[in-house]
Amino acid sequence: MRWNPADAAPGTEAFDPSTCYLVRARADALLIDTGLRAHGAAIADRLAALLPAGTRLWLTMTRVEPDALGNVDVLAERFRFAGISSQTNVIPLDYIGPLSGRYPDVAITNGLLPGDHVPFGERELLVVEPAVRTLPTLWYHDPVTRTLFTSDFFGGAFVEESDAWTPSGVPDIAATRAHLLAKFDWLAIADTSSAVARLRGVRDRLEIDVIAPGHGLWTVGREAVERRIEVTLAALESLGTRAGSLPGVEVTS
């Protein structure tokens, strides 16, 4: 569907890819988010094709929002999750309805915090504090593939065709700034110092070869990742009270 994405700069008309991710580890696999409800049947069929018989499927979520948990009931019924993790204090199945009683054997881990680990078989992901968020959100880092899963951040790379899955061009500071203001409008009046520090900390602390957002296209390759982060840092530093002024508004101390 071609539309004006809500988190795109005004006037943008494009496709906004929405993605959930599967990380496999021998007899176990971890699903990050469950995808949009409209895609439920397609996601379930794709998982069935990817998962060998007997694979234990785990689920962790970046946000407790419809695009992250919208298919939790559909997938729980078809695959019988081994465990479900999230930052919420409510069993995610029960956001859809009183469903947790149907799955008494599912291991539930609530209240995830940055620095925690999400295990699945012999592997685990690190829970990372987002640089910028509005609603409660978690990022995850996979040290094996060196992938940073960033939920609704780093999502400003839209595409012109529905089947395009590779970003084109070099990230632009002005376009990134416009996207950030559309997605996180409060940045216009915020002191972005802490956001800049968090993002720099993520960059310096973790090995990142891939940025994998839940919305928008991924960034692949160490050089491309470093460029994406540097452009985003520059855009953040140009915003809000850190920049000293707002668009059309003088800021005084």
Query: What pLDDT is stored for residue 245 in this prediction?
Result: 43
User: What does the alpha-carbon distance between residue 25 and residue 223 come to, in Å, rounded to a whole number?
Assistant: 27
**CATH code for the structural domain at 21-125:** 3.60.15.10
Query: What pLDDT is stored for residue 252 in this prediction?
Result: 34
CB distance 122 to 132 below 8 Å: no
Half-sphere exposure for 238 (CA within 13 Å, toward CB): 16
Query: What pLDDT is stored for residue 249 in this prediction?
Result: 39
User: How far, in Å, are 27, 80, 165, 180, 212 from residue 105 at the CA level?
Assistant: 18, 9, 37, 41, 30
User: What does the alpha-carbon distance between residue 84 and residue 91 come to, in Å, rounded to a whole number?
Assistant: 8
Question: Can you give the pLDDT of all 253 residues of the chain as single tens digits?
Answer: 344 455 666 666 666 778 899 999 999 999 999 999 989 999 999 999 999 999 999 999 999 998 899 999 999 999 999 999 999 988 888 988 888 899 999 999 999 999 999 999 999 999 999 999 988 999 999 999 999 999 999 987 666 665 666 665 667 899 899 889 988 999 999 999 999 999 999 999 999 999 999 988 889 999 999 999 999 999 999 998 766 544 443 433 3
Q: What is the residue extent of each domain of the chain?
A: 21-125
Half-sphere exposure for 95 (CA within 13 Å, toward CB): 17
Q: Give the bridge partners for 211, in sequence order.
A: 148, 219
Query: What pLDDT is stored for residue 179 in this prediction?
Result: 87
Give strand ranges (E) for 53-144: 56-60, 83-85, 107-109, 117-120, 123-128, 139-142
User: What does the alpha-carbon distance between residue 114 and residue 116 come to, in Å, rounded to a whole number?
Assistant: 6
